[in-house]
Chain A
Amino acid sequence: DGGITQSPKYLFRKEGQNVTLSCEQNLNHDAMYWYRQDPGQGLRLIYYSQIVNDFQKGDIAEGYSVSREKKESFPLTVTSAQKNPTAFYLCASSYPGDRGNYEQYFGPGTRLTVT
């Protein structure tokens, strides 16, 4: 079955440590995205990548880094510079689609808790 996998589902880290969240897709989509969701809020875009070896900052990129070495993979590193890293992180991918709507498909998410 095609889809997006994110692991782990729950992640706990101590303050000051970097942590990398995994995102893998087998949908053959060119574009991939990382979002952050805080309680009671919508999704905010952290980084996105339209193609391998290329990525752009989203609205809240400070304290995060990404890489896109393979089409299937778009890992997100939450660095110690991120002031408030505890949140729910969602990865997504998209393709143009029959109607050019670029519908985004989402993974199950990773809930990161930093103490």
Chain B
Amino acid sequence: AQKITQTQPGMFVQEKEAVTLDCTYDTSDPSYGLFWYKQPSSGEMIFLIYQGSYDQQNATEGRYSLNFQKARKSANLVISASQLGDSAMYFCAMREGNGFQKLVFGTGTRLLVSP
């Protein structure tokens, strides 16, 4: 079974609008962490935001916020006030358990921001 599912291959948004990128996950471990990374066309992976399974509040980092719905096993990324530079691939990833663990990545969503 897929551990991380990103069902949107591509998304379009106009500059200055907000956009939500979907991510659902599957785990039976009560302790886990969820990450979002951005991959521009140059290829490097840029860390955006982290949510721990025991965190009481949704994570926020500047224009990025994570809509964490534990019961539904979803961890959607919300980008507010989109900018042209936000056009990129976005990957959701999960670490199961505490301490050092491997990351499992979803297949990504390509976001295109238009003027």
Residues of chain A having any CB pair with chain B under 8 Å: 31, 40-45, 48, 50, 58, 88, 90, 92, 94, 96, 99-109, 111
Expressed in whole angstroms, the Cα–Cα distance for A42 and B104 within the complex equals 9
Instruction: Tell me which residues across on chain A come within 8 A of B35, comparing CB atoms.
Output: 101, 103-104
Instruction: Tell me which residues across on chain B come within 8 A of A58, comparing CB atoms.
Output: 102
Are A101 and B52 CB-contacts (below 8 A) given A43-B91, A92-B45? yes
Expressed in whole angstroms, the Cα–Cα distance for A47 and B35 within the complex equals 20
Instruction: Tell me which residues across on chain A come within 8 A of B103, comparing CB atoms.
Output: 43, 45, 104
Expressed in whole angstroms, the Cα–Cα distance for A58 and B101 within the complex equals 11
The closest CB in chain B to the CB of A92 belongs to B45
Contact B107 A106 (CB under 8 A): no
Expressed in whole angstroms, the Cα–Cα distance for A109 and B46 within the complex equals 12
Instruction: Tell me which residues across on chain B come within 8 A of A94, comparing CB atoms.
Output: 100
19 more A-B contacts (CB under 8 A) besides A41-B108, A88-B43, A100-B99?
A40-B107, A42-B105, A42-B106, A42-B108, A44-B105, A45-B102, A90-B43, A99-B52, A101-B33, A101-B35, A101-B50, A101-B52, A101-B95, A102-B99, A103-B50, A104-B47, A105-B47, A109-B44, A111-B43
Instruction: Tell me which residues across on chain B come within 8 A of A101, comparing CB atoms.
Output: 33, 35, 50, 52, 95
5 closest pairs, A vs B, by CB? Answer: A42-B105, A106-B45, A109-B43, A43-B105, A42-B107
Interface size class of B (residues with CB under 8 A): 20 to 34
Instruction: Tell me which residues across on chain B come within 8 A of A105, comparing CB atoms.
Output: 47
Expressed in whole angstroms, the Cα–Cα distance for A41 and B106 within the complex equals 8
Are A108 and B95 CB-contacts (below 8 A) given A40-B107, A103-B50? no
Contact B43 A108 (CB under 8 A): yes
Expressed in whole angstroms, the Cα–Cα distance for A95 and B9 within the complex equals 31
